[in-house]
Every structure is written in structure tokens, then in C-alpha cells.
């Protein structure tokens, strides 16, 4: 039976049902809701080179370093020196932790050729070593790496099984959070000797496989008793700052948000976005080759630096010098910001390293530079180094890194002709503002158009603009919308000229008509005058007649009066003048 | 005088070779007791006068387990002659014990 074990030095075993021991492995604690089950045994299994040992070592080292939980490692496969080298590459100081008494690394190499078994035995030697180490450090964590070696080395499997199960019981009684590594078995078995039967609380599978000729690592939680957990396969990386598991998208959408808007350096673009983009949001610029993605991104950086804000420009396609030169040709002088210490340019071909080191490099740059705005140009280049799904996950992680730090992100991505509204990196759901640049070919020239496809939280313009690169920066122009569709470049100018000519012609015609009308109206006026004259003549004639008539009446009356007088003289006077007529 | 002999040489014939043996035990369990008895008997029969046995109780000296990388008990370690050999178990199978101590070639007859 196991020797008497004294209580651990530092703290009592935690007996609460579902306590979790944080691993300190970035991303892993997120997807498990806190880490490994405290006081219980977990199994991490995988093929050769999957990262099992590193997982265990980081769990121990972070525990000792960050969570005040000393640990013990029993290593059956590698020597202490080899292990120290392994984790040194993760930035963990195993020797330092050992020296301070927070960690014991006990390498018990078991080589089947070293010994013979004869008769009954048990594994008390192992128990004694383990308990001595646990007591010496007051350990709360234990890693057994890889205990399966014992099954192969000791030819009495029944004994090993019984002892293994006794060991797990003992570890549990001690309240030790234990991680056991296992070698993946054939034909889909989780472990070669079926030790997952004994470890029922939490089983993690690591996978290292070739996908599209690119080595990728995945992590999956097969089982986690009594706890919710992410069930996806998560890509994970071995970086020089430890392991990193990427939740596919940020599981926690708890970024601080800003209502502050910042300029993208092109005034009319800011107008289209009702004043720019939100600080800390992410802008994706997609477009086919040569549409000006990099220039647009550089304009945003230029504007940020002009406001005195630090910026980072990561280019996977151009060297810093080349970038500065090329941007100068369109009137954007990035060199002065570099000299002023505001802008950090960093260029490296994406193919120079794998996705893993890529992400680590980006994160380090973001931490070192603490920029207000960061450009990644172009994220699509990553597809050369990772399979599509990994690249998407990597981009998601980058967006996440920037958002969680409140950094405004500008990502450019090459899209291909005919699929303009899909980005070569399918990250559109992660980004807040999506600008699409498109080349339009007509009349023997190519012209650039800019669309705002989306912009969260912004009443953005639905208009398309012509995007031109001048020697004093990028500019947006209204496009002409004529009967033949949207016109750009010389067609736009021709259209404008045509419109002007048509306008001129129209006004001439109007003038002609106005003159004709005036003429006609003068004619009519003249006719009216003639008629009026005639009328006046006739009226005058009539008046004369009337006048004559009245004069005639008077004369007759005078005649009658004369006659009457004459009749009064003699009755033989002639008849009255009225009869004369 | 015979040459030092290869790894598979039959050392039992070399009367000058001294066997330095260390037996790791955990307390006084029946297995421990049997292992000690079996070892003493075999040594008397095959190595009379030229062996030394050291008994190590890991319950008393747990730190000693690390030096010889002891996992199982009982474990018999042949410190001398070189190379170091380990024999795990209560040593009840004398033939295997002799093979393990290289007092008899592996696969040798009775």
C-alpha cells in the first residue's frame, strides 16, 4: 500500500464540486469555462508531436508561476534536461521554478531493455517518489507524462492496470489536480492502452495533422463531466509565449466600445460613413489587384499619425522601404511618421513562417507598439501558409486581439474577379465596416469604384464613388450616372461634356422659340392695331352720318315752321315739308 | 586469467568477479520478505562468497528511489559488475533471476 502521506504544505485540498484549476493556457480556460477539473484527473491524448507534453508542462509552470499552485512532473519519456529545453522554447523557466521549490521534475525513464521482471511486484516505488515530491513542494498539480510507457515496459499488464487505478484513486484522495498524457492508439482509440477508462472526468484530444500540405494542430474536448465546454475542434498553436488555443470567434463579445469616430484620411469617405469609423472597430478593405487597398489603408494611418496617434502597419507583401516609396508616389508620406516614432512599419512575407509564429508575431507587435490603429496588409496572403479554416480562425483571432485592445483595425484582403463581394478570407462577419474597391473597365481604361458594403452603427451612404489616386493622396469623386449606367474616368468626363453640349443646344432652341413667339405676338399686335383702326374709321363714318341726319331734321323743322307761318297768311299755302322726305 | 567477457559471457565462471547487489523494498510486505529470501538463496547457490547485498527500504529513504530510477518494488539492481541491470519482482522465478543477473545466458537451458 502507499506510504503514509502528509497533508500538503500550502493549502488544503479543494473539495467543492466543480472547482476548476486554470491552466493559464491562453484560450483553453475560455473554452472550458475555467480550466481543468480541480482535484481530479484529466487525460490529454494525441499522436506523436501533438503537443501533449507541452500542454502538461505549461499547466504546471503557469500553475506554479501565476496561480500559486506548485506542481510535480513525473516524466517517463524524457530526461529533466530535455524537458527544460522543451519549455524554454515556450518562454517558461522550469529550472527557475525548480530552484524556488515550486516545481519538481522527476524523470523516471523506463526502458524495457534495462530490466527483467520475475514474480510479483507493485508500483510503490512510483508512489513513494510521487508522494515525496508532492510533500516537498506542497504540490497541488501533478502531471504524469506519459504513464503509458509503463504498460509497454513492464510485462505484467494486469499489475500495471491495477496499480494505475490505485494511483488515480490516491491522487484524487490527495485532491491533486492531475493531468495524464496518453499516446493516441490505433483505429480511433483514444489511447494505446485504454487508460481513458480510468480517467472519467475530462478528456482532451490533441491532433497534429497535415491539411492541404500544411501542418495544423487541433484541440478538442471529448468529455468534461459536469461542465459545459466548447465541443468544436479548436486550432491551437505552439508559440514562443506558450500554447494558444483559438476560440473560432471570440466567445466573449465584451469589448469596450467607443462612440468616438475617427477619420480614414479621405474626407469624402468619412462623409459617406457619416463622419468616419468608430474608434476600435475593424475595417475590411477588399478589392481585386491594383484597386488601391493598400493606399486606402495608408491614408487611414497617415490621418491617425497626423492626429498624433501611434500606428502599426504590417505588410505581408511589401518591405517597409518599398511601402514608404510607393505611398510617397501618391502623396502619402509615411516616412516622416516613422521618423517621428509614431509609426511602426513591419514587413515580412507571409510564407516566411507558419500561422503559429505569424499570430505570435502580430500579438507581440500589438503589445510592443500599443497602436491606436493597426493595418494588416493583406490578410489574404496567409492562405499560402494555412488552410482556409485555419486562416479564418487566425484572422478572427487577430480581429479579437485588436478589438480587445481597443485598436482600430484595418485589414485588406485580395478578392478575385467575379467574386467581388466575398473576401478571400471569409471574415466578413467579424468586421464592422466593409469597403469594396472594384475596377471597372470601359473605353480602354480601368477605373476604380468604391462601395461601402456595410458599416455597423452607421447610416452609411449607399452611393458608389469613383476612387482616384492623385499625387496628393486618395480622393473620392461623385460618379456620373447616365442612361448608360455608372460612368467613370474619361467616360465620365465625356458624359459631362455631352451633357453640357446638350444643355447649350437646348437653350439655343429655347431662344429661337422665344424669338418666334415674340415675332408672332408682334404680328398679332399689328393685326389688332389695323383692325382697331378700321373700327375707328367705321365708327367715325357712322358718327358723320348721324350728325348729318340730325342737321337734316333741323332743316326740315325749319321748313315746316316757315310753311306754317305762310299758311297763317293765306290758306293756299303748300303742304308741310315732312311729306317731302 | 579470463578476459572480461562480453555482455552475454557466463560470468559465473569468473571467480574474481564480485557482485554488488541492491534490493529496493517498501516496508515489510510479503513480497519484500519473499524477495529477500529468494535473493539470498540464489546468491548462496551461485555466487557463494563473492556477493554483497544492500537492502534499501524506500519508506525510510524515499529520496533514494530517484537515483536508481525505481518505479516498481521490489527491484533488484545489479550495481556491479557493469552494466547496471534491474530485475523487478519478488524474484520467485529463479531462472529469470539468473538470466537477469547474467549468471546464465538468455534463453539458456536448465
Is A370 part of a structural domain of the chain?
yes
Residues A424 and A451 in one domain: yes
For residue A6, the model assigns a pLDDT of 43
Catalytic status, residue A317: yes
Residues A159 and A238 in one domain: yes
The CATH architecture that domain B17-100 belongs to is 3-Layer(aba) Sandwich (3.40)
The CATH number of the domain holding residue A119 is 3.40.50.300
Is A77 part of a structural domain of the chain?
yes
Catalytic status, residue A148: no
Please give the average per-residue pLDDT across B32-57, as a whole number. 89
Is A60 part of a structural domain of the chain?
yes
* A108/B71 touch (CB, cutoff 8 Å), yes or no: yes
Is A182 part of a structural domain of the chain?
yes
Domain boundary residue, one of A245, A271, A286: A245
Contact A35, A23 (CB under 8 A): yes
Of A58, A69, A77, A78, which is the active-site residue?
A77
Q: Nearest C-alpha of chain A: how many angstroms from B54? A: 17
Q: Which residues contact A463 (CB under 8 A, 6 or more apart)?
A: A272, A478
Q: Which pLDDT tens digit goes with each residue over A443-482? A: 777 788 888 888 887 777 777 888 888 877 788 887 766 6
Q: pLDDT averaged over chain A?
A: 81
Altogether, the residues listed in chain A come to a count of 581
Domain that holds residue A274: 261-478
Is A202 part of a structural domain of the chain?
yes
Q: Which pLDDT tens digit goes with each residue over A56-67? A: 989 999 999 899
Q: Which residues contact A385 (CB under 8 A, 6 or more apart)?
A: A214, A350, A351, A353, A354, A355, A358, A391
Residues A466 and A334 in one domain: yes
Domain boundary residue, one of A245, A279, A295: A245
Which among A107, A118, A125 is the nearest to B73, CB-wise?
Answer: A125
For residue A1, the model assigns a pLDDT of 44
Measured in degrees and rounded to the nearest 5, phi and psi for residue B5 equal: 85, 150
Q: By C-alpha distance, which of A402, A459, A460, A405 is closest to A431? A: A402
B7/A38: higher pLDDT: A38
Residue whose C-alpha cell reads 479548436 in the numeric block: A234
Q: Nearest C-alpha of chain A: how many angstroms from B58? A: 7
Please give the average per-residue pLDDT across A565-580, as a whole number. 60
Cβ burial, residue A246 (10 Å; 0-12/13-18/19+): buried
Q: Is the dihedral of CA A272, A277, A281, A286 positive or negative?
A: positive
Q: Nearest C-alpha of chain A: how many angstroms from B72? A: 4
A79 in reach of chain B (CB within 8 A) = no
Domain boundary residue, one of A478, A503, A528: A478
Residues A335 and A443 in one domain: yes
Residues A154 and A289 in one domain: no
Domain limits, chain B: 17-100
Q: Which residues numbered 102-161 in A keep a CB inside 8 Å of some CB on B?
A: 106-110, 114-126, 128-129, 131-132, 150, 154
Is A497 part of a structural domain of the chain?
no
Which among B58, B62, B92 is the nearest to A118, CB-wise?
Answer: B92
For residue A441, the model assigns a pLDDT of 77
* A119/B93 touch (CB, cutoff 8 Å), yes or no: yes
* Residue B65 predicted with pLDDT over 70: yes
Domain total for chain A?
2
Residue A140: helix, strand or coil by DSSP?
A: coil
A546/A118 Cα distance (integer angstroms): 168
Supply the DSSP string of A43-54, one letter for each residue.
EEEESTTSSHHH
Residues A178 and A280 in one domain: no
Amino acid at each position: 500500500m502507499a506510504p503514509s502521506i502528509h497533508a500538503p504544505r500550502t493549502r488544503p485540498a479543494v473539495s467543492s464540486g466543480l472547482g476548476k484549476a486554470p491552466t493559464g493556457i491562453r484560450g483553453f480556460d475560455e473554452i472550458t469555462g475555467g480550466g481543468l477539473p480541480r482535484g481530479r484527473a484529466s487525460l490529454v491524448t494525441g499522436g506523436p508531436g501533438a503537443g501533449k507534453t507541452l500542454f502538461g508542462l505549461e499547466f504546471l509552470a503557469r500553475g506554479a508561476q501565476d496561480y500559486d499552485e506548485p506542481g510535480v512532473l513525473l516524466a517517463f519519456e524524457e530526461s529533466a534536461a530535455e524537458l527544460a529545453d522543451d519549455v524554454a522554447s515556450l518562454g517558461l523557466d522550469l529550472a527557475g521554478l525548480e530552484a524556488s521549490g515550486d516545481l519538481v521534475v522527476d524523470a523516471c525513464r523506463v526502458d524495457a531493455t534495462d530490466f527483467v521482471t520475475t514474480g510479483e511486484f507493485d508500483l510503490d516505488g512510483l508512489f513513494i517518489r510521487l508522494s515525496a515530491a508532492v510533500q516537498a513542494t506542497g504540490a497541488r498539480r501533478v502531471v504524469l507524462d506519459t504513464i503509458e510507457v509503463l504498460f509497454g515496459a513492464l510485462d505484467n499488464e494486469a499489475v500495471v492496470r491495477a496499480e494505475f487505478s490505485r494511483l488515480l484513486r490516491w491522487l484524487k484522495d490527495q485532491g491533486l489536480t492531475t493531468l495524464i498524457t496518453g499516446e493516441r492508439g490505433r483505429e480511433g482509440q483514444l489511447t494505446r492502452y485504454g487508460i481513458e477508462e480510468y480517467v472519467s472526468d475530462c478528456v482532451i484530444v490533441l491532433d497534429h495533422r497535415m491539411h492541404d500540405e500544411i501542418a495544423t494542430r487541433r484541440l478538442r474536448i471529448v468529455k468534461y463531466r459536469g461542465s459545459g465546454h466548447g465541443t468544436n475542434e479548436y486550432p491551437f498553436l505552439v508559440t514562443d509565449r506558450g500554447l494558444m488555443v483559438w476560440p473560432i470567434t471570440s466567445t466573449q463579445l465584451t469589448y469596450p466600445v467607443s462612440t468616438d469616430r475617427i477619420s480614414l484620411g479621405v474626407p469624402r469617405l468619412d462623409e459617406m460613413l457619416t463622419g468616419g469609423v468608430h474608434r476600435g472597430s475593424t475595417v475590411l478593405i477588399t478589392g481585386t489587384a491594383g484597386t488601391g487597398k493598400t493606399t486606402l489603408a495608408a491614408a487611414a494611418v497617415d490621418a491617425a499619425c497626423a492626429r498624433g496617434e501611434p500606428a502599426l502597419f504590417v505588410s505581408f507583401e511589401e518591405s517597409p522601404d518599398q511601402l514608404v516609396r510607393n505611398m510617397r508616389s501618391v502623396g502619402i508620406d509615411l516616412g516622416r511618421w516613422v521618423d517621428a516614432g509614431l509609426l511602426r512599419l513591419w514587413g515580412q512575407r507571409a510564407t516566411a513562417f507558419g500561422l503559429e509564429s505569424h499570430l505570435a508575431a502580430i500579438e507581440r507587435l500589438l503589445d510592443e507598439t500599443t497602436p491606436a490603429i493597426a493595418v494588416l496588409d493583406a490578410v489574404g496572403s496567409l492562405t499560402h501558409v494555412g488552410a482556409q479554416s485555419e486562416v479564418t480562425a487566425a484572422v478572427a483571432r487577430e480581429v479579437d486581439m485588436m478589438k480587445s485592445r481597443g485598436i482600430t483595425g484595418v485589414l485588406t484582403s485580395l478578392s478575385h474577379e467575379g467574386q467581388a463581394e466575398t473576401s478571400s478570407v471569409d471574415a466578413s462577419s467579424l468586421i464592422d465596416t466593409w469597403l469594396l474597391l472594384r475596377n471597372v473597365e470601359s473605353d480602354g481604361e480601368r477605373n476604380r469604384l468604391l462601395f461601402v458594403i456595410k458599416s455597423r452603427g452607421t447610416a452609411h451612404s449607399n452611393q458608389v464613388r469613383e476612387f482616384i489616386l492623385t499625387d496628393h493622396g486618395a480622393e473620392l469623386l461623385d460618379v456620373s450616372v447616365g442612361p448608360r449606367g455608372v460612368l467613370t474616368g474619361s467616360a465620365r468626363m465625356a458624359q459631362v461634356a455631352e451633357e453640357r453640349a446638350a444643355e447649350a443646344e437646348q437653350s439655343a432652341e429655347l431662344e429661337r422659340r422665344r424669338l418666334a413667339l415674340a415675332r408672332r405676338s408682334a404680328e398679332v399686335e399689328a393685326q389688332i392695331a389695323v383692325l382697331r383702326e378700321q373700327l375707328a374709321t367705321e365708327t367715325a363714318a357712322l358718327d358723320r352720318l348721324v350728325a348729318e341726319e340730325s342737321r337734316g331734321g333741323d332743316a326740315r323743322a325749319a321748313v315746316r315752321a316757315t310753311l306754317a307761318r305762310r299758311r297763317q297768311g293765306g290758306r293756299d299755302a303748300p303742304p308741310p315739308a315732312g311729306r317731302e322726305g | 586469467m579470463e578476459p572480461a567477457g562480453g555482455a552475454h559471457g557466463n560470468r559465473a565462471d569468473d571467480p574474481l568477479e564480485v557482485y554488488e547487489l541492491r534490493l529496493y523494498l517498501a516496508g515489510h510486505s510479503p513480497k519484500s520478505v519473499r524477495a529477500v529470501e529468494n535473493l539470498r538463496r540464489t546468491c548462496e547457490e551461485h555466487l557463494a562468497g563473492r556477493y554483497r547485498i544492500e537492502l534499501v527500504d524506500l519508506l525510510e529513504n524515499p529520496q533514494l528511489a530517484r537515483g536508481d530510477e525505481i518505479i516498481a518494488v521490489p527491484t533488484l539492481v545489479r550495481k556491479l559488475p557493469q552494466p547496471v541491470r534491474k530485475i523487478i519482482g519478488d524474484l520467485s522465478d529463479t531462472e529469470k533471476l539468473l538470466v537477469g543477473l547474467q549468471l546464465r545466458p538468455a534463453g539458456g537451458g536448465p
